[in-house]
C-alpha cells in the first residue's frame, strides 16, 4: 500500500499538493477537453476552498472533519482488498466493484448483457471511446459546489452504464464502492449513467467498507445521469461506510420529455455523510420521485440535500425523506424545488419526517419552494418528534417488550417510505439494510 | 511656585477647555435644522444632543456606532431581495420635525391619487388631513385628544409616550430594557438603528393591569414623524396585557428611502403583548421606481412563565420588506404567535417571516403566514423554528401558503427547522397555488367584477390572519388588500 509522505494540515492542502504529482497518472491524460476540464475544476477548487457553513447550501453541515484530518488522494488501487461480506444486492445483471475509487476486476461480475446495454469503467471508456464521455461530465458553479470540482479534478475511475434507445434491463446493475484500509485516503469516483429514449434500468450504488472497516476514508462520488425521452431509471444509493468515514455524493440528473427518475438514498454509515441530488427537467411531462432515509446514532451527521429544477411544463416531483436519530446524531434534510416561469402545470410535493430517539439527537430541516409560475400545485411538509407513546403502549399491551416495540415502530416508520418507493426485490434489499442497522443497536456501532 | 495641587488644577482646566472646544466643534452645526448627509461620530453626538439625551445613552449610541463600523460590508445579502448598494454616507441622519409653515395648507395640495385611496378606505376627511400632514386646524386638535387618553392611561399607571420622552421621564426603565432583546450588534441594520435611532414609542404596563384601549402609534395619540430610524420598546409587567397597533392602512409617503426600525417587546410572567402592524409605506410606482426600503428588526422575549407574545402583520407597502418578527420563548409555558399577510404587487419585493426560538419546557408557537404575489413582485416567507435541548414538550405548528396571481411573480418559502429535543413536536405545512379559474368564474357569474372577485378570494385566503387583527383595523385592512392588488387582473 502506498501512502503519501507529505505532511498536510487539511484535506484541502493535501489535494492542492497532490494535483501536480497525480495528474499525469489520471485516466484520459492527453485528451484536450479532459485536461482542460480537470485544470479548470482544480483552479476553481483552489480559489473557492472547501464549502463551509457560511454558504447557505451548507448552513447545517460543516466539513470540519476534512479540515481536522488531511485526507489525501489515494495514488493507486490497493493490491487486494480485504475479503469481506458480499456487498450490494443479489440477483444483479452486472456487478462492478471499485476499491479506493478504482476498478477491481477480480471482484466484479459481468455476464452477457442484453443487446444495447454497455457496462464499462470510466478509465476504460476514456482509453477507448472518449467521444462517448465528452460533454457528459457535469460541471458546477459557485463555492457551494467546490467538492464536485474536486471530484472533476481527481476522478480516477467509475462506472459507465449506457442503454441504447429501447433497451431494457430486468435485473439491477450493482455498483459497489469499497474503501480499503488506507487511513485518511481520499477517492473520487465519477459514474455515468445514460439511458436512450424509452430505455429502462435499475442501478444500485453501494458505498461500504468491507467487514465494517474502522479506517477513516473520504469518498467523494459523483454520478451523472441523463435520461432520454420516455426513459425510466431507478437509482438506489446505499451508504454504509465505517464509523470514521466522510462521504459526500452527488447525483446530477437530466430528465428529458416524459422520462422518469426514481431514487432512494439511504444513509446509515460514516461519521459525516452528505448525499445530494440535483435534478433538472430538460423537457415537459417528466417525473422525479426522490425517496430517502437517514439512520443515525453516536455522533453521526447525515445530510440529504435535494434540488429539483422545474424548467418545463407539466412535470411532477414527489419527495419523501424520513430519519431516525439516536444518541448525538444530527440529521439534515434540505430540499429545494424551483419552478421556472414557463413551468406551468407543475405538481410538486415534498415531505420530511424525523424521529428523535435521544435527548441529544438533533434534526434540521429546510424544505424550500421557489416558485415563479402561477399555474402550479406545490406543497411541502415537515414533522419532527419522538415515537408515539400510545403506539408504544399498544404494542406493549400485546406482550412486546419496550425494546421490541420500539424496534417494530422504527422499522415501520422507515418501512413506510421504502414501500412507497418500491414493492419488489429492491425494496427487500432496503428493508434488510434497515434491519442490519437496527441489529447493530445491541453491540455498539458495527457489532 | 506651583504646588502639585495647582498643577493638577490647571490640568483639569485644560482638559475642560479642550473638551468644551471639541463640543463647540459640532454645536455650531446644532443651530441648523438639517445636518449634512453622511454618518460619523459627530453626527451620532449631534442626534443625541438635539434630543438632550443623558450621557449613558450617548455612550450607548457611540458604542453601537463603533460596532456598526466593524460590520462594514456585512449588510445582509442572504435574503431574496435585490437593490443597488446603499450609500450610507448619502443619507441624512437627522431632520428636525416639520414646522407648520412647511406643511401643505389644505388637502388641495395633496396628490389626488392618494386622496382617491383615502376615499376607498373610507377614512374621514379630518383624519385624511392629519395623515397627509396638513397643518392641523384648531377644531380637530389631536393634541387634546392625546391628552385625554394619556390622562386616562396615567390613572392606571400605564406609560405610553414617545421614546425620547421616556428617556427623560423614565430613564431607569429605558436603561434597563433598551437592547435587552435586540442587542446593539444583533445585525447590520439593528446596529445602525442603535446608533442613530430617531424616535418611537415607549410602553410600560404595570403589574396586573389590563390596558383598557388599543395603543396606537398612528395619529390617534402619538406624534407622527418618528423618523426613519424608529425605536419601540414595550414592557409588560407580570400579569398585564396590552394590545398595540402600529402603522395604518392609509398610504404613507416619506422622503427617506431607507427605514431601519427596531422593536423590542418584553413580556414578564403571565403577561401578554399583542402587537399588530399594518404596513403601507409607499411601494414605488407601477414601474418599480422609488419606494421605501423597510428593513426592520422586531423581536419579543417571553421572560416570565406563561408569558405570551403575538405578532400580527399585514404588509402591503414598501418597495422592499426585510422583516422577521421573532419570539424568544425563554420561560416555561411561554407562547409565541405569528400571523402574517404579505401582499406584493408590481415590482415589490418582500422577504418576511418569523423566528420562534424555544428555550424552555412546554413552550408553544404557532405560525400562520399567507403570501400573495401579483404583478412582477417577489414574495418570500423565511422562517426559523428552533427547539433547544431544554425545551421539553415544546410544540410548533407552522402553515405558510402562497397565492400567485399572474405569471410574472414569484412566491417562495424558505423554512428552517432545527430540533434538539426528542419530546418536541414540530409540524410544518406549506402550499403554493393560484386563484383557480373555477373560483373566478363562480364569483363573476354572481355578478362580481374581476377585481372584486380577486379581493373576495384573497380575503378568504387570508381570513385566519385577518381575524387576529383588532376589530377597528380589520375592516380597513380588508379593503386595503383589494386596493393593493388593483391592476393585477384583467
Query: For residue B118, what pLDDT is reported?
Result: 66
CA distance B55 to B171: 11
Average pLDDT of the residues in A1-19: 73
Nearest chain B alpha carbon to A357: B422
End-to-end CA distance of chain A: 27
| Of B18-27, B164-173, B196-205, the least confident | B18-27
| SS3 state at B84 | coil
Hey, are the CB atoms on B428 and A359 less than 8 Å from each other?
no
Hey, are the CB atoms on B420 and A362 less than 8 Å from each other?
yes
Contacts of B344 in chain A (CB under 8 A): none
Hey, are the CB atoms on A385 and B428 less than 8 Å from each other?
no
Q: Does A142 touch chain B (CB under 8 A)?
A: no
Which of B187, B433, B160, B429 minimizes the C-alpha distance to B323?
A: B187
Q: DSSP string of A68-109?
A: HS--EE--S--SSPPP----S-SS-SEEEEEETTEE-GGG-E
Half-sphere exposure of A76 (CA within 13 A, CB side): 7
Distance from CA of residue B362 to its chain's centroid?
29
The confidence band for B221, taking pLDDT boundaries of 50, 70 and 90, is: very low
Query: For residue B257, what pLDDT is reported?
Result: 77
What is the average pLDDT value for chain A, to the nearest integer? 88
The confidence band for B300, taking pLDDT boundaries of 50, 70 and 90, is: very high
Q: Is the pLDDT of residue B162 over 90?
A: no
Hey, are the CB atoms on A354 and B410 less than 8 Å from each other?
no
Report pLDDT digits (tens) over B108-142. Answer: 766 666 667 666 666 666 666 665 555 443 333 34
Query: For residue A442, what pLDDT is reported?
Result: 52
A199 Cβ contact list (under 8 Å, min separation 6): A116, A163, A164, A165, A166, A167, A168, A228, A231, A232
Which of B334, B176, B379 minimizes the C-alpha distance to B264?
A: B176
Counting other chains too, the contacts that B213-218 makes at CB distance below 8 Å and 24 or more residues apart are B213/B149, B213/B152, B213/B153, B214/B243, B214/B244, B214/B245, B214/B470, B214/B472, B215/B160, B215/B242, B215/B243, B215/B244, B215/B245, B216/B244, B216/B245, B216/B246, B217/B244, B217/B245, B217/B246, B217/B247, B218/B245, B218/B246, B218/B247, B218/B248
Hey, are the CB atoms on A354 and B419 less than 8 Å from each other?
yes
Query: For residue A236, what pLDDT is reported?
Result: 96
Q: How many CB pairs under 8 A join A and B?
A: 117
H helix intervals, B430-470: 437-445, 450-461, 463-466
Report pLDDT digits (tens) over A162-207. Answer: 999 999 998 999 999 988 767 788 999 999 999 999 999 999 999 9
The backbone torsions φ and ψ at residue B358, rounded to the nearest 5 degrees and listed phi first, read -90, 115
Query: For residue B126, what pLDDT is reported?
Result: 61
Give how far Cα B191 sits from Cα of B43, B199, B256, B265, Å: 15, 15, 18, 17
Q: Is the pLDDT of residue B42 over 60?
A: yes
Query: For residue B309, what pLDDT is reported?
Result: 97
Query: For residue A388, what pLDDT is reported?
Result: 86
Q: Is the pLDDT of residue A316 over 60?
A: yes
- In this predicted model, which residue has the larger pLDDT, A97 or A215? A97
Query: Left if phi > 0, otherwise alpha if psi is -120 to 50, otherwise beta: which for A136?
Result: alpha
The backbone torsions φ and ψ at residue B79, rounded to the nearest 5 degrees and listed phi first, read -75, 155
Q: Say if CB A235 and CB A261 are below 8 A apart.
A: yes
Distance from CA of residue B152 to its chain's centroid?
26
Report pLDDT digits (tens) over A34-85. Answer: 999 999 999 999 998 899 998 889 999 999 999 888 888 887 765 555 544 4
**CB-closest option in A354, A376, A380 to B430:** A380
3-state DSSP of B362-411: CCEEEEEEEEEECCCCEEEEEEEEEECCCCCCCEEEEEEEEEECCCCCEE
The backbone torsions φ and ψ at residue B154, rounded to the nearest 5 degrees and listed phi first, read -60, -35
Report pLDDT digits (tens) over A226-256. Answer: 999 999 999 999 999 988 899 999 999 999 9
Which of B329, B381, B392 minimizes the C-alpha distance to B359?
A: B329
Query: For residue B298, what pLDDT is reported?
Result: 96
Interface test with B, best of A369, A380, A389, A392 (most B CBs within 10 A): A369
Q: Is the pLDDT of residue B99 over 60?
A: no
Report pLDDT digits (tens) over A321-343. Answer: 999 999 999 999 999 999 999 99
Q: A residues 47-66 near B, CB within 8 Å?
A: 56, 59-60
Which of B291, B301, B300, B299 minimizes the C-alpha distance to B321?
A: B291
Task: Read off the DSSP letter of residue B88.
Answer: G
Average pLDDT of the residues in B440-463: 90
Interface test with B, best of A354, A358, A371, A375 (most B CBs within 10 A): A371
Average pLDDT of the residues in B388-412: 91
Contacts of A55 in chain B (CB under 8 A): none
CA distance A318 to A306: 12
Report pLDDT digits (tens) over A346-370. Answer: 999 999 999 999 988 999 999 998 9
Query: For residue A299, what pLDDT is reported?
Result: 93
CA distance A81 to B477: 71
Q: Which residues of B have a CB under 8 Å from any CB of A?
A: 78, 387, 389, 402, 404-434
The confidence band for B290, taking pLDDT boundaries of 50, 70 and 90, is: confident
Contacts of A60 in chain B (CB under 8 A): 418
Burial of A413 (0-12, 13-18, 19+ CB in 10 A): buried
Contacts of B413 in chain A (CB under 8 A): 367-369, 380
Amino acid at each position: 500500500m502506498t501512502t503519501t509522505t507529505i505532511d498536510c494540515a487539511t484535506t484541502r492542502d493535501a489535494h492542492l499538493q497532490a494535483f501536480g504529482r497525480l495528474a499525469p497518472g489520471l485516466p484520459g491524460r492527453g485528451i484536450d477537453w479532459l485536461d482542460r476540464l480537470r485544470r479548470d475544476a482544480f483552479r476553481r477548487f483552489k480559489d473557492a476552498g472547501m464549502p463551509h457553513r457560511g454558504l447557505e447550501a451548507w448552513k447545517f453541515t460543516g466539513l470540519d472533519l476534512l479540515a481536522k484530518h488531511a485526507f489525501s488522494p489515494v495514488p493507486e488501487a490497493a493490491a487486494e482488498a480485504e475479503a469481506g461480506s458480499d456487498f450490494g444486492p443479489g440477483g444483479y445483471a452486472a456487478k462492478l466493484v471499485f476499491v479506493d475509487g478504482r476498478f477491481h476486476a477480480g471482484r466484479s461480475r459481468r455476464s452477457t448483457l442484453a443487446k444495447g446495454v454497455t457496462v464499462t469503467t470510466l478509465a476504460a471508456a476514456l482509453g477507448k471511446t472518449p467521444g462517448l464521455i465528452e460533454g457528459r461530465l457535469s460541471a458546477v458553479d459557485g463555492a457551494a459546489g467546490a467538492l464536485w470540482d474536486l471530484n472533476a479534478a481527481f476522478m480516477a475511475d467509475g462506472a459507465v452504464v449506457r442503454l441504447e434507445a429501447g433497451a431494457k434491463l430486468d435485473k439491477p446493475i450493482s455498483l459497489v464502492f469499497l474503501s480499503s484500509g488506507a487511513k485518511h485516503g481520499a477517492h473520487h469516483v465519477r459514474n455515468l449513467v445514460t439511458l436512450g429514449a424509452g430505455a429502462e434500468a435499475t442501478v444500485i450504488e453501494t458505498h461500504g467498507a468491507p467487514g465494517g472497516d474502522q479506517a477513516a476514508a473520504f469518498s467523494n462520488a459523483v454520478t451523472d445521469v441523463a435520461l432520454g425521452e420516455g426513459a425510466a431509471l431507478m437509482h438506489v444509493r446505499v451508504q454504509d461506510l465505517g464509523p470514521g468515514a466522510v462521504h459526500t455524493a452527488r447525483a446530477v440528473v437530466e430528465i428529458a420529455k416524459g422520462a422518469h427518475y426514481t431514487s432512494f438514498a439511504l444513509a446509515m454509515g460514516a461519521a459525516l455523510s452528505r448525499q445530494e441530488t440535483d435534478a433538472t427537467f430538460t423537457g415537459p411531462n417528466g417525473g422525479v420521485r426522490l425517496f430517502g432515509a437517514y439512520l443515525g446514532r453516536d455522533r453521526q451527521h447525515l445530510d440529504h440535500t435535494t434540488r429539483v429544477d422545474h424548467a418545463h411544463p407539466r412535470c411532477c416531483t414527489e419527495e419523501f425523506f424520513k430519519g431516525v436519530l439516536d444518541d448525538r446524531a444530527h440529521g439534515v434534510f434540505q430540499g429545494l424545488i424551483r419552478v421556472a416561469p414557463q413551468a406551468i402545470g407543475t405538481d410538486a410535493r415534498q415531505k420530511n419526517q424525523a424521529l428523535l430517539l435521544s435527548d441529544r439527537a438533533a434534526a434540521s430541516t429546510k424544505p424550500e419552494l421557489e416558485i415563479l409560475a402561477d399555474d402550479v400545485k406545490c406543497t411541502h411538509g415537515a414533522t419532527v418528534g419522538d415515537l408515539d407513546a400510545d403506539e408504544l403502549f399498544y404494542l406493549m399491551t400485546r406482550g412486546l417488550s419496550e425494546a421490541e416495540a420500539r424496534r417494530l415502530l422504527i422499522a415501520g416508520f422507515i418501512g413506510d417510505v421504502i414501500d412507497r418507493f418500491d414493492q419488489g426485490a429492491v425494496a427487500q434489499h432496503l428493508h434488510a439494510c434497515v434491519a442490519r442497522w437496527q441489529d447493530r443497536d445491541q453491540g455498539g456501532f458495527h457489532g | 511656585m506651583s504646588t502639585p495641587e495647582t498643577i493638577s488644577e490647571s490640568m483639569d482646566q485644560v482638559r475642560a477647555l479642550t473638551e468644551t472646544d471639541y463640543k463647540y466643534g459640532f454645536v455650531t452645526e446644532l443651530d441648523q435644522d438639517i445636518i449634512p448627509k453622511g454618518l460619523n461620530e459627530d453626527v451620532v453626538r449631534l442626534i443625541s444632543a438635539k434630543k438632550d439625551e443623558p450621557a449613558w445613552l450617548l455612550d450607548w449610541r457611540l458604542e453601537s456606532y463603533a460596532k456598526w463600523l466593524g460590520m462594514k460590508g456585512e449588510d445582509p445579502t442572504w435574503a431574496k431581495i435585490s437593490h443597488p448598494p446603499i450609500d450610507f454616507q448619502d443619507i441624512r441622519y437627522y431632520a428636525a420635525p416639520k414646522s407648520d409653515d412647511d406643511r401643505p395648507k389644505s388637502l388641495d395640495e395633496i396628490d389626488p391619487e392618494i386622496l382617491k385611496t383615502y376615499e376607498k378606505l373610507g377614512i374621514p376627511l379630518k383624519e385624511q388631513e392629519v395623515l397627509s400632514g396638513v397643518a392641523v386646524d384648531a377644531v380637530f386638535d389631536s393634541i387634546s385628544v392625546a391628552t385625554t387618553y394619556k390622562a386616562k392611561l396615567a390613572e392606571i399607571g400605564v406609560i405610553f409616550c414617545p421614546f425620547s420622552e421616556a428617556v427623560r421621564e423614565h430613564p431607569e426603565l429605558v436603561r434597563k430594557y433598551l437592547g435587552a432583546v435586540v442587542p446593539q450588534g444583533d445585525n447590520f441594520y439593528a446596529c445602525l438603528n442603535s446608533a442613530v435611532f430617531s424616535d418611537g414609542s415607549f410602553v410600560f404596563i404595570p403589574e396586573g393591569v389590563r390596558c383598557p384601549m388599543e395603543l396606537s402609534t398612528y395619529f390617534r395619540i402619538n406624534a407622527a414623524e418618528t423618523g426613519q430610524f424608529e425605536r419601540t420598546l414595550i414592557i409588560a409587567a407580570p400579569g398585564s396585557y396590552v394590545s398595540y397597533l402600529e402603522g395604518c392602512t392609509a398610504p404613507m409617503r416619506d422622503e427617506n428611502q431607507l427605514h431601519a426600525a427596531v422593536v423590542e417587546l418584553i413580556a414578564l410572567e403571565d403577561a401578554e403583548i399583542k402587537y399588530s402592524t399594518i404596513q403601507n409605506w409607499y411601494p414605488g410606482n407601477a414601474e418599480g421606481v422609488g419606494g421605501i426600503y423597510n428593513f426592520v428588526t422586531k423581536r419579543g422575549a417571553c421572560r416570565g412563565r406563561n408569558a405570551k407574545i403575538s405578532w400580527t402583520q399585514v404588509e402591503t407597502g414598501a418597495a422592499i420588506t426585510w422583516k422577521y418578527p421573532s419570539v424568544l420563548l425563554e420561560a416555561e409555558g411561554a407562547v409565541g404567535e405569528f400571523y402574517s399577510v404579505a401582499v406584493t404587487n408590481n415590482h415589490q419585493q418582500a422577504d418576511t417571516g418569523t423566528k420562534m426560538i424555544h428555550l424552555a419546557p412546554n413552550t408553544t408557537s404557532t405560525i400562520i403566514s399567507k403570501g400573495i404575489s401579483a404583478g412582477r413582485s417577489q414574495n418570500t416567507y423565511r422562517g426559523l423554528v428552533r427547539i433547544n435541548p431544554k425545551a421539553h414538550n415544546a410544540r410548533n405548528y407552522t402553515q405558510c401558503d402562497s397565492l400567485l396571481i399572474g405569471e410574472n411573480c414569484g412566491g417562495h418559502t424558505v423554512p428552517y427547522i432545527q430540533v434538539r429535543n426528542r419530546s418536541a413536536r414540530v409540524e410544518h405545512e406549506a402550499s403554493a397555488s393560484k386563484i383557480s379559474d373555477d373560483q373566478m368564474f363562480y364569483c363573476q357569474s354572481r355578478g362580481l367584477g374581476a377585481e372584486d372577485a380577486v379581493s373576495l378570494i384573497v380575503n378568504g385566503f387570508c381570513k385566519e390572519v385577518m381575524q387576529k387583527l383588532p376589530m377597528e383595523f380589520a375592516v380597513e385592512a380588508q379593503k386595503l388588500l383589494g386596493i393593493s392588488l388593483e391592476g393585477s387582473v384583467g
